[in-house]
Amino acid sequence: MKPNFKIAIVQEGPVYLNLRASMEKMLSIIEDAGAEGTDLIVFGETWLTGYPAWLDHCSGYAIWDHEPTKAVFSRMYQNSVTVPGPEVDQLCKMAKEYGMIIVSGLNEIVRSGPGNRTIYNSMIIIDEKGNLLNHRRKLMPTYTEKLLYGLGDGSGLEAVETSLGRIGGLICWEHWMPLTRQAMHNSGEFIHIALWPRVHEMLQVASRAYAFEGRCYVIAVGQMMYGEDFPEELELPEHITNHPGGVILNGGSSIIGPDGQYLLEPQYDMDGTFYCEMDHMDKIYEESMTLDVTGHYQRLDVFDFKLRSRD
């Protein structure tokens, strides 16, 4: 494990529901991060090709047989990613070229077989050698997300070995699922990636609590989104039409240590890539003296826990 390394958090949006343009933007951001000597770069929840924040703003989307919503779903599907697939292959190539670990959220589809009309809220981890180490789908779409996304399963619910130590991740409200957290803690994370649409106060609480509970570093990733990014098919509410450039998702990306304290304070209302130099990974072990929920603070003689994967 490297004693010192650089993390890049991407807090800006894709080209919404445009896979080709989003990939071009993503590859450009990775190139810039590579020039900065970045070891780990992280993109937010469903970065390819955009988080459906319109679900919480646009009127009429939940009406049965609503044509505009169906049109947005169709465009979202057609601009989603297959895993493996050409976009993931490109990212693997970039990861190898720059010796950089790439983590990203994405809207995922399956082109053939069962579930080939379903979109999944997914994440991938690609190591510095260009290997796709982990691919997992969000277990439970949250609230209005259930209109768009299918259910994930237990496969990939683990940390993977990289040159920076064991890296794992959860998506959004999975951080409020106690057994999901325990499964990840049991896999021995050094670095945890917390993907969010935006990291508002309660989600900062969840991210800090996760770091403290798991005695690991947490990279909480938020995004920026503006009214002008909303799908053109939908009737926008007044607060967006009056201010199309107004902020809908306001970021909040941060990095938290194993003691629950910030290494990078939350970054709100700013587009860009934020860099952080990491060292003193021994703090994971130092903080584990008082709390280790996978060892001396886990009572296997009292509790029984089992993870069921896809197999």
Those residues whose C-beta lies under 8 Å from the C-beta of residue 271, and which sit 6 or more positions away, are 11, 12, 224
Measured from the Cβ of residue 307, the count of other Cβ atoms closer than 10 Å reads 15
Query: Rounded to whole angstroms, how far apart are CA atoms 67 and 235?
Result: 12
Per-residue burial over 138-175, b if 16 or more Cβ lie within 10 Å, else e, is bbbbeeebeebbbebebebbbbbebebbbbbbbbbbbb
Residue 172 is among the residues annotated as catalytic for this protein: yes
DSSP class of 244? T
Taking alpha carbons only, the member of 220, 226, 176 closest to residue 200 is 220
Residue 122, pLDDT score = 98
Question: How many helical (H) and strand (E) elements, i.e. helices and strands, does the chain have?
Answer: 7, 13
The number of domains in the chain is 1
- Domain of residue 83: give its range: 5-288
Per-residue pLDDT of the chain (311 residues; tens, 9 = 90+): 777 899 999 999 999 999 999 999 999 999 999 999 999 999 999 999 999 999 888 766 667 888 999 999 999 999 999 999 999 999 999 999 999 999 999 999 998 888 789 999 999 999 999 999 999 999 999 999 999 999 999 999 999 999 999 999 999 999 999 999 999 999 999 999 999 999 999 999 999 999 999 999 999 999 999 999 999 898 888 888 788 788 999 999 999 999 999 999 999 999 999 999 998 788 999 999 999 999 899 888 898 888 887 65
Residue 110 has a pLDDT of 93
CB of 283 within 8 A of CB of 216?
A: no
Catalytic residue among 25, 45, 58, 92: 45
- Greatest CA separation found in the chain? 60
Q: Is 224 part of any domain?
A: yes
What pLDDT was estimated at residue 207? 98
Q: Indicate which residue of 138, 158, 174, 216 is catalytic.
A: 138
Residue 16 belongs to a domain with what CATH number?
Answer: 3.60.110.10
DSSP secondary structure code for residue 63 in this structure: S
Q: Give a yes or no: residue 301 inside a domain.
A: no
Task: Tell whether 294 is covered by a domain.
Answer: no
At residue 66, the pLDDT reads 87
Residue 79: inside a domain: yes
Pick the catalytic residue from 58, 172, 189, 216: 172
Give domain status of residue 90, yes or no: yes
Does residue 295 fall inside a structural domain?
A: no
Task: Give yes or no: 138 in active site.
Answer: yes
Spatial distance between the Cα atoms of 279 and 152, rounded to a whole number of angstroms: 34
Domain presence at residue 238: yes
Our answer to whether residue 276 is catalytic in this structure is: no
Q: What does the pLDDT read at residue 9? A: 98
* Residue 80, in any domain of the structure: yes
